[in-house]
Structure 1
Amino acid sequence: MTNQSEAMSIQPPAWMLAAARNAVKVSGVNPDEAFAARIRDVRKQAEACSKQHQETKSLLAKKLEELSPKSVLKSSDRFEQANVREESSSTERQLVKTSATGTVAGSKAIIRTSDSSKRKEAVKTPEKKQSKKVRFLTEQVEKDSSLKDTARQPQKTASTTAGNDSNPNETVPALSKSLPSSQYKVEEYNVPLDLPEWYTSISIDNRHMKHLSKRRPPALTALDALKDLARQCEEAPKKNRSGDLPNLYNKLRDLIHKAEIILPVTHHILRKAHMLSPQTGLPRIFRAQANFPPDIKADSYQLYKRWYAGNLTQDLLRGIITKKSTNRSSDSICPIYRTKYPVTAKYIGQGDLVPGQWWPTQLCAVRDGAHGTPQGGIFGSKSHGAYSIVLSSGTGYADHDAGDTIYYSGTENSDNTGSVTENTKHLLTSLQTRDPVRVLRSAQLGKANKYRPERGIRYDGLYVVVGHEVLDEKKGVLRFRLERCDGQEGIRWEGEARRPTVYEVREYERLKEEGAWMGGVC
């Protein structure tokens, strides 16, 4: 009754009374009673928001939490766990992808936290969160890397050289933290995103291009035949003609070798034949999805790189200034050529070289960035170690070449003080870093060596230095053991894939007979 009197003491606005009267007519409810009921509802809502009511709700919630099973999670906890699962899944995918591309050499130690703090850590710093599966995958990657490094260590074998291969002085370095050499990308030929300017600047509708269409020079016909052979090689398996592939491959191989040495081309002919086109040109042969033999891929890529640079000179001694002298150091690289086609040999790995790439002289290998010195056998730097070495003959050297395994002697000092030469130090640095070293073989190797090229000098892939032994302490002579990196095609010393090709040998002999050079001939 008190609440009703308090409600009646409040004078409602006229519009509310009018609305109430209309409602009375419809519902038959007294307007004063209806207004009093509304006031009571408002008062109850105010009491529900009071401090005392909130404390009562809090105590009741705690009591319910104590009585409920521990496995029941609050909505906020479920949200945190969902974030943890999502972050863990993302981390796992990232790790698997990284290990597949060979960029994980090891991982940092994982600090395990208590279960109660895992969810908070995942929310605050998601990048530090790693699930059990992630830790397991990381440990597997570390284990695999360790096994690979162990496999590179020299094995104690029977003596096969003038020295003792199982010499107890041979040492194996501690494993390096750098990338295992097998993870350096080899035999992957990338196609530039953009075509060269000299190529795109030639309009296919200009007068010279139309003239080529009419008279069809032999070089253009040969390039069209090369592309047609590539197409036939691709279509043979689809037409159940796989038996024709060996013959087709040999024909394609022959045309590529001719194009490198004896097929005169011009910029307009290359543009007319679309030889740099990723779809129909040479990239069709060496792209990753293609199924051509590795040597055909390599040789087509070598040809592509030279044409892409606009270097159409087929002379084996292009860019070399030769002098008729018995002094090998008399030849040099033309400064104009070097400015137009700048290269360097100061890099680790294969670079733009291809397995089996061949040159008539060591200076030509320097010209193309395969080696860094026209005479020395070791090229490197103090900080990075050896970049490349050349296997050749030498007086007093106890070298041994078994193909995938090489025993290579460093240089000796001239003062008999036991000091080690700078070149030998480069190989010692490579022994510690485990970075790969480019190996080139010279025709000056002994004739009993089946891996020696018939003429000139040939790039035969990447090797890693795995051990060394002391041959002469006073002269500072060390012999190093190198092993060929995994994931490479075989050395191209025999069969259809061998280098130098028949065309390279013929051109070499022709230049030699004409007296194109007197010194520096292998």
Structure 2
Amino acid sequence: MAKQEEAKAFFLSQRSQKSQESTTRPATPPPATAGASPSIPAAAAPTPQTITTARAPVAPFSFVPQRRTELPAEDAMEGGERLQIDMARPEPPEWYNKIKLDQVRKAPRVPIGIEQHLNKITNGIGKCNDAVAKNLHPDPAEFTKINNGIHRLLHNVRGLPAIFDSSTVDYPWYIKEEAAELYLKWWQKDTNPDLFRGIKLGRTKNAKLGRDSAVDSLDPKFKRRKGNVYGNNYLRIGQWWPTQLCAVRDGAHSATIAGICGKTGEGAFSCVLSGGSYPNIDSGDEIWYYGTESDDPSRPTDATQHMIESSRTQIPVRVLRTSKMTTKGPNEYRPEAGMRYDGLYKVIDYEVEREEKQVHLFHLVREPGQGPIRYKGPEVRPTPEELEALGKSKFERQYLA
């Protein structure tokens, strides 16, 4: 709240300054829709200087450049499988309903370790329901047991819908998110706990860097989810991946390299807040995000144009933060490693920062009604277990042929 008040105060001071300079500065075309240009927080404001030239004009929202004839392969990526599941009324998937009873009887015995973790969930749910029936608040220790059980149980559905779809016990929101995320994995038969499932890991000699570097690729045999859709796409707040390729595998993004994915004429599906020449400004619920540089001073890149179109349509964009995100000043919202899904944001407005490079600065505001950003506390992602698994994976990668 304090950062938003600072941003508002800075915007008002800038508007007053622009009014005083109106006699010496040429007018610039306003946006086609109502609203001011992005209000940058005071902490990111440049040192006041005497302005002798006009600021780069704000591009009209109706500006639509000619479609490029060729796109990078990762920006045109399609394929993958779309889900058909109603999370408000979860039902077992078709593959589960087709399992015959005699197949279940012949199945190998479930390892005792799995049963122990399952009991943490089912027993915890039972004790929480008993407490509510007695008009008592559930013991927080039971919440901890449930959370531990969820993180170690990726193959089973029993107990999970009873957490995220409970009408009796008010479980902590982050436990509901974990339960829903794991339920969706089970629903897709995605029961492999490996962080890099569906990814072909590789190594190559990088002569420029003078060392080996990893070159990974999507396994064509793995059923990945499409990312060229709007909305959450069945992702949960805080869902985390070690690399962008893993996020593509799960439908969070649809480009293996590019930071903005979208459809010409409609807008962006998702954007990745990563490293770059221009430091973004991140205050959590509000972000000031730079588009990409263009080689043509008369038109922005396709990626930037997707964000311009999103500001016109007001269709929310999926935002993913990375540990390598460059920002002006400290940033507590970055994940410790990898990439995290932080929900849907609307592109409120934008302005042109460098006209000769068509560099646009976009103002994004997080949609209300979503769970908090999972950057601290017991709900933090990545979890200690995820960081440990990532560390082991980096160590094992050294020995790839």
TM-score (normalised: structure 1): 0.58
Q: 1:402 corresponds to which letter in structure 2?
A: S
2:171 pairs with 1:292: yes
Match of 2:113 in 1: 218
Match of 2:303 in 1: 423
Match of 1:364 in 2: 246
Cα distance change of structure 1 residues 171 and 420 upon mapping to structure 2, 3 Å threshold: closer
Match of 2:144 in 1: 250
Cα distance change of structure 1 residues 307 and 517 upon mapping to structure 2, 3 Å threshold: farther
**How far is the alpha carbon of 1:318 from its aligned partner?**
0.4
CA distance in 2, matches of 1:172, 1:229: 56
Cα distance change of structure 1 residues 240 and 326 upon mapping to structure 2, 3 Å threshold: farther
Partner secondary structure for residue 44 of structure 2: coil
Q: 2:130 aligns with which of 225, 235, 239?
A: 235
**How far is the alpha carbon of 1:336 from its aligned partner?**
0.6
**How far is the alpha carbon of 1:192 from its aligned partner?**
3.9
**How far is the alpha carbon of 1:235 from its aligned partner?**
2.5
Partner secondary structure for residue 346 of structure 2: strand
Aligned residues: 330
Q: 1:330 aligns with which of 215, 236, 250?
A: 215
Match of 1:405 in 2: 286
Cα distance change of structure 1 residues 294 and 206 upon mapping to structure 2, 3 Å threshold: closer
**How far is the alpha carbon of 1:170 from its aligned partner?**
5.5
CA deviations 1:388-421 (Å, max 9, x no partner) are: 00111212x1311110000001101125x34211
Cα distance change of structure 1 residues 205 and 464 upon mapping to structure 2, 3 Å threshold: closer
Confirm or deny: 8 A CA contact 1:191 1:283 kept in the other structure. Answer: no
Confirm or deny: 8 A CA contact 1:172 1:467 kept in the other structure. Answer: no
2:257 pairs with 1:375: yes
Partner secondary structure for residue 180 of structure 2: helix
Q: 2:94 aligns with which of 179, 196, 208?
A: 196
Q: 1:365 corresponds to which letter in structure 2?
A: A
Q: 2:283 corresponds to which letter in structure 1?
A: A
2:181 pairs with 1:302: yes
Q: Which has the higher helix share?
A: 1
Match of 1:353 in 2: 235
CA distance in 2, matches of 1:355, 1:363: 19
Q: 2:160 aligns with which of 282, 294, 302?
A: 282
Partner secondary structure for residue 149 of structure 2: helix
2:273 pairs with 1:385: no
Unpaired segments of 5 or more residues in structure 2? 1-32, 49-54, 63-85, 207-212
Unpaired segments of 5 or more residues in structure 1? 1-148, 175-187
Higher-Rg structure is 1
CA distance in 2, matches of 1:449, 1:287: 34
**How far is the alpha carbon of 1:323 from its aligned partner?**
0.9
Confirm or deny: 8 A CA contact 1:323 1:517 kept in the other structure. Answer: no
CA deviations 1:360-379 (Å, max 9, x no partner) are: 10000000000011111111
Confirm or deny: 8 A CA contact 1:391 1:439 kept in the other structure. Answer: yes
CA deviations 1:250-276 (Å, max 9, x no partner) are: 22112111224xxxx5xxxx4xxxx35
Q: 1:344 corresponds to which letter in structure 2?
A: K
CA distance in 2, matches of 1:158, 1:449: 14
Match of 1:507 in 2: 389
Give % identity: 34
Cα distance change of structure 1 residues 433 and 288 upon mapping to structure 2, 3 Å threshold: farther
CA deviations 1:296-335 (Å, max 9, x no partner) are: 1111111111111222211100010111137778311111
Cα distance change of structure 1 residues 194 and 300 upon mapping to structure 2, 3 Å threshold: closer
Cα distance change of structure 1 residues 202 and 428 upon mapping to structure 2, 3 Å threshold: same
Partner secondary structure for residue 223 of structure 1: helix
Partner secondary structure for residue 296 of structure 1: helix
Q: 1:286 corresponds to which letter in structure 2?
A: F
Cα distance change of structure 1 residues 423 and 306 upon mapping to structure 2, 3 Å threshold: same
Worse-superposed segment, 282-291 or 384-393: 282-291
Confirm or deny: 8 A CA contact 2:227 2:252 kept in the other structure. Answer: yes
2:199 pairs with 1:320: yes
Larger RCO of the pair (alpha carbons < 8 Å, separation 6+):
2
Cα distance change of structure 1 residues 205 and 426 upon mapping to structure 2, 3 Å threshold: closer
